[in-house]
Amino acid sequence: MKKCYDVAVIGGGPAGATFARELSRKHPQMAIALIDGKPKTGGKVCGGLLAPDAQKVLAQFDLDLPKEILADPQIFDVKTMDLQSGIVRNYQRHYLNMDRAAFDRWLLSLLPAQVDVIVGRCTQITSGQDGFCIQTDGEPTKIYAKYLVGADGASSIVRRQFFRPCKKKYIAIQEHFADQIVGAPSYSCVYDPKTSDTCSWIIRKDGKLIFGGAFHIKDGRQAYEKQKARLEARLGHCFGESTKIEACLLTSPRSARDFVLGNDGVFLIGEAAGFISASSFEGISSAFLSGKYLADAFSEDPKRTLQKYKKSTRKLRMKLLLKIFKMRILCCPMLRYIIMKSGMCSIEKYEKSEE
Ligand SMILES: Cc1cc2nc3c(=O)[nH]c(=O)nc-3n(C[C@H](O)[C@H](O)[C@H](O)COP(=O)(O)OP(=O)(O)OC[C@H]3O[C@@H](n4cnc5c(N)ncnc54)[C@H](O)[C@@H]3O)c2cc1C
């Protein structure tokens, strides 16, 4: 039987889940399909830190986070290390440390029955006069919809097929280790211009130590291994036995042209639209907001939808442009040196007594 929907959403991350939930609330008569194919390795490759901006949007949605989603430990600061200059500073942070796969499952669990969640990866999209035909490797294999929403993240098939890609992409690599290093900081941010022009991170999470970073796609794995060795030399210990290594693409917008909202009945939200912070790679808050804004703007007139969506995302796009500027400052070794050397905004750690 031919299955036809008003709207098909590709991708069930924070952007897709938020959009589908909000659209169904605003238009209870609409038939909505959400097609999501999780990567074979499990959940999304992510640091799993919920930033204050994302917490604020959850508050605006009147959503409380179930405690099962939180990971151990909760963190209050980031230890920032510059491997080139050797400077180390601590900065206060207000993130929630969470299990990202559990977070995504929870967001999907909030969807009403009106949204058909289809498990499978979209492999091909064809557009015709009446809308779009979406082929999947799941069941059903063909889905028809009047409007298409790409919420499929950094390697978005929707963006690739219909729009100009975001110019700058990294390969993000994360490795998991058994957390056996006594006294290791719970959250670190690492700059090493010899191996990457952006930052890496170490996060303790539920008995694991996760080390990850973003590297140039061409020689990403070698750069990652080199940085890991340089970091281990600097820390004076090895990370130990690796239990898992994962990788995915990561978008890094460089100009306003990298933000693409849609056209002709196809819309983009979340990282697929280029909505991610270039300085910290925080993307959950932008995924929430763009999902909400598109749902609010949605009407049977795609031109009007686009107009309204453009207007409502103006502030978000401005904020993300400022993050590009911030990234240029933080990723410039000389400017970073001056900022870190000055101790500006850093916190002092009290001495610990020897046990
Ligand atoms: C290594 C790393 C660490 C990060 N750490 C953080 C962090 O700590 N905090 C933070 O706020 N942000 C972080 N981010 C950014 C954040 O993960 C993303 O910006 C955010 O998840 C974007 O949400 P989204 O819904 O747009 O896309 P995604 O979360 O990527 O969701 C896209 C969904 O679409 C599905 N999909 C993709 N292609 C297809 C297809 N062809 N067919 C069907 N389904 C498909 C995917 O399986 C996925 O479920 C990190 C990113 C990376 C790569």
335-345 pLDDT, tens digit per residue, is 999 999 999 99
- Pick from 227, 231, 271: which is nearest to 248 by CA? 271
Statement: residue 256 has pLDDT above 80: yes
Please tell me whether residue 161 adopts helix, strand or coil conformation. Answer: helix
- Pick from 166, 155, 217, 226: which is nearest to 190 by CA? 226
121 is written with which tokens? Answer: 């990866």
Taking CA atoms only, the protein residue closest to ligand 1 atom 2 is 46
**271 C-alpha vs ligand 1 centroid, how far in Å?**
7
> Position of tokens 């281990």?
232
230 vs 224: CA distance, rounded Å: 10
82-92 tens-digit pLDDT: 999 999 999 99
In the structure, which protein residues have their CB atom closer than 6 angstroms to any atom of ligand 1? Answer: 10-16, 35-39, 44-49, 51, 54, 121-122, 151-153, 157, 172, 174, 212, 248, 250, 270-272, 276, 281-284, 287
188 vs 78: CA distance, rounded Å: 5
Statement: residue 95 has pLDDT above 70: yes
314-333 tens-digit pLDDT: 999 999 999 999 999 999 99
How much is the average pLDDT of 293-303?
A: 97
pTM for the structure as a whole: 0.97
Report pLDDT for 41.
56
Distance of CA 73 to the CA centre of its chain: 21
175-232 tens-digit pLDDT: 999 977 777 789 999 999 999 999 999 999 999 999 999 999 999 999 999 999 999 9
β-partners of residue 92 are 77
Maximal CA-CA distance, the chain:
73
Report pLDDT for 183.
74
| Contact predicate 269/150, CB 8 Å | yes
Mean pLDDT of the chain: 95
Beta strands 4-10; 142-150: pairing state: parallel
How much is the average pLDDT of 131-160?
A: 95
Report pLDDT for 181.
76
Statement: residue 355 has pLDDT above 60: no
228 vs 216: CA distance, rounded Å: 15
Q: Which of 46, 50, 97, 261 to mutate to test the pocket of ligand 1 (most atoms within 8 A of CB)?
A: 46
**193 C-alpha vs ligand 1 centroid, how far in Å?**
25
Ligand 1 atom having least distance to the Cα of 16: 25
